[in-house]
Amino acid sequence: MTLQLPPLSLYIHIPWCVQKCPYCDFNSHGQNGELPQQQYVDALLDDLKQDLAYVQGRKVHTIFIGGGTPSLFDASQIQRILEGAQALIPFDDNIEITMEANPGTLEHDDFSAYRAAGVTRLSIGVQSFSKEKLNLLGRIHNEDEAKVAAEKAKQADYLSFNLDLMHGLPNQSFDEAMHDIDTATALAPPHLSWYQLTIEPNTLFHSKPPQLPDDENLWQIYEQGQQRLAALGYEQYEISAYAKPGFQCRHNLNYWQFGDYLGIGCGAHGKITLPDSNRIVRTVKIKHPKGYLSADKYTFETTEVIEDDRPLEYLMNRLRLMTPIPKTEFEQRTGQSADVVKQGMQKSIERGLLTETTTHWHLTQKGHMFVNDLLSQFI
C-alpha cells in the first residue's frame, strides 16, 4: 500500500504561564518578569520556515495555539504569528484557528482583540467552578471570572468556544462534579472538554498526591455526567470531548485521525507523512525557552515511525473517537493493508469489542469501555 498525504494542521506552543499548576505535565514555565514576546514570535516564524519542506503543497486547515497560557501574549503578537504563518503557508478558506486562554484579569488583551487578530475559536481553561477546587488546582481565577470569560467569548463573536472542565478532583463529591457540569452548560458553550484528573509524573501532585475520589465515585460521576451532557444535546465524539452538532474541534479530530501537523515553539511535537520515501516522521523542538530563543536550528529530535509500529500508532489515536473506523483511512494513513490487523481485529470481534463490515470497523459499547484491551491485540 502507498502512504497518502493527510490534511495538514499547525500547532504553535507558547510556554509561559502566570504560575505552574500542580497537576500540569505540559511544557510550561512560570512567568518571571516581562515576556520576550517580540523575540519569541520572531523565533516561531523562523522555526516554521525550517519546516516548510514538510508542507508538500498542502494548505493548513487548522491551527491550535496552546501552552502555557497563550493569552499572556498581546493580540498584536498573535496577529503577527498568524499573518507570518499565512505568508509562508496558504491557509484553507475555512480555517479553524483555536487559542487557549485562561479566565481572569491577568491577560494582556480582551477576548475581542484576539478575535480581531484572526483567532476563530477560543478554548477557556475553567477546570472547575468551585473556589476550593480551583485553589487546590493552583488556578488563579474564581467562579465569577470563569462565567464572565464565557460571556465575553460569546460577545466577541467567535465561531465557537470551548470550556475545559475536569472531574475526579481532590475530595470531589458527586454533587460537586454535577454542579460543575450544570454551571458550565448553563453558559452554553458549543464545545466542552470534560476529562478526569490524572496524576502525572514530574508534577507536584505526583510528589504530594491528593486524595482523589474512589473508583466507584469516579464511575458514577462519569456515567451520570455523560447522560446529563447527552440530554442537553452535547454529542460525545471523543473520549473527553463533547460538542453541539457542527462544533467538533477539527484540529483535534485531525490528531485522532492520524493526520499531519507541524509543531513550532518550545517542546512542540509534529507528525509528518512523506509519501515519496514511504516514511512517517515525528519531530520535537527544543524544550526550554532559553535554548529555543538562542537556537539556529529548532528541531531537537526527529524519529521515524517504522512500518511495524504504524498500525498500533494509528489505532491508539483513532480509537479515541466514537465514530466507525474506515478501512481505507487505515490503509491511506499507515501505508499498510487492512489485512495486517486482521488477526487482532478478529480476536477483538470474538471478545465483543468490535463489529466489522466490508468497509469499517465499529467499536461496540464494551469496546469503548475496554480500549486498552483492544489495543493489546496489536502490541
DSSP state for residue 149 in the 8-state scheme = H
* 3-class SS of residue 207: helix
CA dist., res. 106 & res. 158, Å (int): 21
* 3-class SS of residue 314: helix
Pair 356, 345: CB distance under 8 Å:
yes
Strands annotated E in 154-268: 160-167, 191-196, 235-238, 241-243, 260-265
Residue 216: how many CA atoms within 13 Å on its side-chain side? 0
Question: Taking residues 274-288, what's their average pLDDT?
Answer: 97
The predicted pLDDT at position 98 comes to 98
Question: Taking residues 270-276, what's their average pLDDT?
Answer: 97
Mean per-residue pLDDT over the chain, rounded: 91
Which range of 23-27, 215-219, 314-318 scores highest in mean pLDDT? It is 314-318
For residue range 75-104, what is the model confidence (pLDDT) as tens digits?
999 999 999 999 999 999 999 999 999 887
Q: How confident is the model at residue 357 (pLDDT cuts 50, 70, 90)?
A: very high
Question: Taking residues 154-183, what's their average pLDDT?
Answer: 93
CA dist., res. 26 & res. 270, Å (int): 15
H helices, E strands: number in the chain = 15, 17
Residue 312 pLDDT greater than 90, yes or no: yes
What dihedral do alpha carbons 116, 117, 119, 122 form, nearest 10°? -70
The predicted pLDDT at position 20 comes to 57
The predicted pLDDT at position 212 comes to 76
Pair 292, 300: CB distance under 8 Å:
no
CA dist., res. 255 & res. 259, Å (int): 6
CA dist., res. 273 & res. 279, Å (int): 6
Residue 106 pLDDT greater than 50, yes or no: no
Question: Taking residues 244-254, what's their average pLDDT?
Answer: 98
